[in-house]
A and B are shown apart, each in its own frame.
Chain A
Amino acid sequence: MPIKILLVDDNENNLLSMEVALEKGNYVFFRANSGREALRILLHEEDFSLILLDVKMPIMDGYETAELIYQRDKLQQIPIIFITAHDYEEAAMFKGYQTGAVDFIRKPFNAEILRSKVAVFAELYRKNQLLRKQEEKLQAINADLLRLNRELEQRVLDRTVALENLNQELQALNISKDKFLSVMSHDLRNPLTALLASSGKLNEDPENLSPGQVKQLSQIIHRTSNKLLNQLNEVIEWAKKQSSKTSFNPQKIRLATGAEESMEVLKPNAHQKKINLQNHIPKDMEVMADPLMLRSIVQNLITNAIKYTPEGGLVRLSAKIEGQMACIFVEDTGIGMAAETKARLFNTDQKSLSGTNNEQGSGLGLLLVSDFVTQHGGKIGVESTPGAGTTICFTIPVIQLDNA
């Protein structure tokens, strides 16, 4: 970068002789014949290393010029050397320093002294430039460091989130296991207790029992055996789902037909409570679903609807298409549920509540349903009004008719 020097003198000869004296310094010179011209040059040209300013000029003298120069913030860093014909009287020098001069040279000047002084300021300018560049470099490095730091923080954050998610999955798995154990220990032990006590009694002194008692005992045995079988099936279904998540095998299914099959199985339950079971699913709607899982979902939801609906109520199936998914509704006119129960409905810690006829359940049903729906990429939700009824809605991929 060249060293730019502004020479200001009303005498053309003086300007020339200054240039000649400084010729070998490899400087770039700008000349001004008046303070006004000097100011004009300073408006257009930047980065001057030094100003050599004649004090005695008509209209605007050196001091006034210097004052105006230093009024501009951008120019305050440029050193000014006053060139004066006056002797170095203290008052004049003080005035000069007050306006911001850094040095004085006497006219007629000694070329050697002019060269040395200008060289000092040129060197000072170079060093300042160097410092500025280094500072810029440091700032760039600092910015880089800040950016790297931010990136690192982001990566730590990403990893933390990933780890937290993993942790949650593991915890959910653990909760599932706990749930499994609790079901095994409590919900299977209850029917087993009834079964063992009844059969034990029959076995102990059959000759002392009345025919009525024998009948009652065998009825309990039969009922609880069936209950055990159902719960065992639920547990096996759940365990299967836990061990092989790959068994998901979706195929094209006519939804209304699939639902009808599930309903057929549960008609005796509905009949027993005089509940009206209706299928309003459009006949032509087709879905992409695992047949076994879909059956399990629908059966579990209908079973629940019957369980929580008093005698003479209604359980109604319907479906509609929303985008890529079929929304299937299982609606009942049952007892509904409190907001708190609703919030915990699909949690693993939710235990089964007794039905309107005190029906019991393992609490695994909805856990399975939720798992199966998720596996289909669907969602499950619940709307419920205590005393009025509950609607469970789940989504599974639909096959668009116009694509067929």
Chain B
Amino acid sequence: MKRERILVVDDDDDILEIVTLLLSERGYEVRMLNHGKTIFDNIREFQPGLILMDVMLGDMDGRAICQDLKKDPLIGSLPVILISGTHDLAESINLPGGPDDFIAKPFDLDELYAKVERHLAA
């Protein structure tokens, strides 16, 4: 069976490492990206089934990247979960250009697993 792929984008290398470890351990194939600059190339190359992305990415804003992704006819249907320690994005879920889900930092492991599973299944 082909393993489901997740692209994790966060500018904090520790977060990337632990999230990758958590998800790999659950059987997902994970690619890490610590900036938002080449996200489109990475998506085309890696063909993930889900994107897990932090809002603060150095000088880039995860919310803006999410909007760009959603506008793309090929990528637009790809589920995006935004993660943030400062912003509450619960209200922007499923709005045009908004993420499919939102996880607040620090996150609960079960919540992470549950949301990842739900959006990959959808």
Contacts from A to B (Cβ < 8 Å): 182, 185-186, 189-198, 200-201, 204, 209, 213, 216-217, 220, 223-224, 227, 353-354, 358, 360
Contact yes or no, A197 B107, CB < 8 A: yes
Contacts A195-B106, A213-B21 given; 16 further ones with Cβ under 8 A?
A189-B105, A190-B12, A191-B14, A192-B106, A193-B15, A197-B19, A197-B22, A197-B106, A201-B22, A201-B25, A201-B109, A204-B109, A209-B25, A213-B25, A220-B17, A358-B11
* CB within 8 Å for A353 and B15 given contacts A189-B105, A213-B21, A358-B34: no
Interface string of B51-81 (1 = CB under 8 A from A): 0000010110000000000000000000000
B12 contact set on A, CB distance < 8 A:
190-191, 194, 360
B34 to chain A, nearest CB (A): 6
Chain A residue nearest in CB terms to B106: A193
Contact yes or no, B109 A190, CB < 8 A: no
User: Which of A191, A195, A197, A354 meets B109, CB within 8 Å?
Assistant: A197
User: Which of A189, A201, A204, A360 meets B106, CB within 8 Å?
Assistant: A189
User: Which of B18, B34, B58, B112 meets A194, CB within 8 Å?
Assistant: B18
A203 to chain B, nearest CB (A): 10
Docked Cα-Cα span, A335 to B108, in Å, equals 38
What are 11 sample pairs from A and B whose C-beta atoms fall under 8 A apart?
Answer: A189-B85, A190-B12, A190-B14, A190-B105, A193-B107, A197-B19, A209-B25, A216-B21, A217-B21, A220-B21, A224-B14
B54 to chain A, nearest CB (A): 9
Residues of B30-64 whose CB lies within 8 A of A = 34-35, 56, 58-59
User: Which of B14, B21, B25 meets A223, CB within 8 Å?
Assistant: B14
Contact yes or no, A185 B14, CB < 8 A: no
B94 contact set on A, CB distance < 8 A:
none
Contact yes or no, B25 A193, CB < 8 A: no
* CB within 8 Å for A186 and B106 given contacts A358-B13, A358-B34: no
B83 to chain A, nearest CB (A): 8
Docked Cα-Cα span, A354 to B11, in Å, equals 8
Q: Count A-B pairs with CB separation below 8 Å.
A: 75
Chain B residue nearest in CB terms to A357: B13
User: Which of A186, A194, A201, A213 meets B15, CB within 8 Å?
Assistant: A194
B37 to chain A, nearest CB (A): 12
Contact yes or no, B14 A220, CB < 8 A: yes
Docked Cα-Cα span, A224 to B13, in Å, equals 10
A198 contact set on B, CB distance < 8 A:
18, 21
A191 contact set on B, CB distance < 8 A:
12, 14
- If over half of A's interface residues share one DSSP class (helix, strand or loop), that class is named, otherwise mixed; here it is helix
A363 to chain B, nearest CB (A): 12
B18 contact set on A, CB distance < 8 A:
193-194, 197-198, 201, 217, 220
A201 contact set on B, CB distance < 8 A:
18, 21-22, 25, 109
Docked Cα-Cα span, A182 to B34, in Å, equals 21
Docked Cα-Cα span, A195 to B85, in Å, equals 14
B35 to chain A, nearest CB (A): 8
Contact yes or no, B109 A185, CB < 8 A: no
The 8 closest A-B pairs by CB, nearest first: A189-B85, A194-B14, A193-B106, A193-B105, A196-B106, A197-B18, A190-B12, A186-B86
Chain A residue nearest in CB terms to B34: A358
A216 contact set on B, CB distance < 8 A:
17, 21
User: Which of B15, B17, B108 meets A190, CB within 8 Å?
Assistant: B15
A139 to chain B, nearest CB (A): 66
Chain A residue nearest in CB terms to B35: A354
A354 contact set on B, CB distance < 8 A:
11, 34-35, 58
B2 to chain A, nearest CB (A): 24
Contact yes or no, B85 A360, CB < 8 A: no
Docked Cα-Cα span, A227 to B18, in Å, equals 15
Interface string of B88-122 (1 = CB under 8 A from A): 00000000000000000111110010000000000
Chain B residue nearest in CB terms to A360: B12
Docked Cα-Cα span, A182 to B11, in Å, equals 17
A200 contact set on B, CB distance < 8 A:
108-109
Chain B residue nearest in CB terms to A352: B58
Docked Cα-Cα span, A191 to B10, in Å, equals 12
A197 contact set on B, CB distance < 8 A:
18-19, 22, 106-107, 109, 112
* CB within 8 Å for A190 and B85 given contacts A197-B107, A213-B25: yes
Docked Cα-Cα span, A358 to B15, in Å, equals 13
* CB within 8 Å for A186 and B56 given contacts A223-B14, A227-B14: yes
B34 contact set on A, CB distance < 8 A:
354, 358
A230 to chain B, nearest CB (A): 13
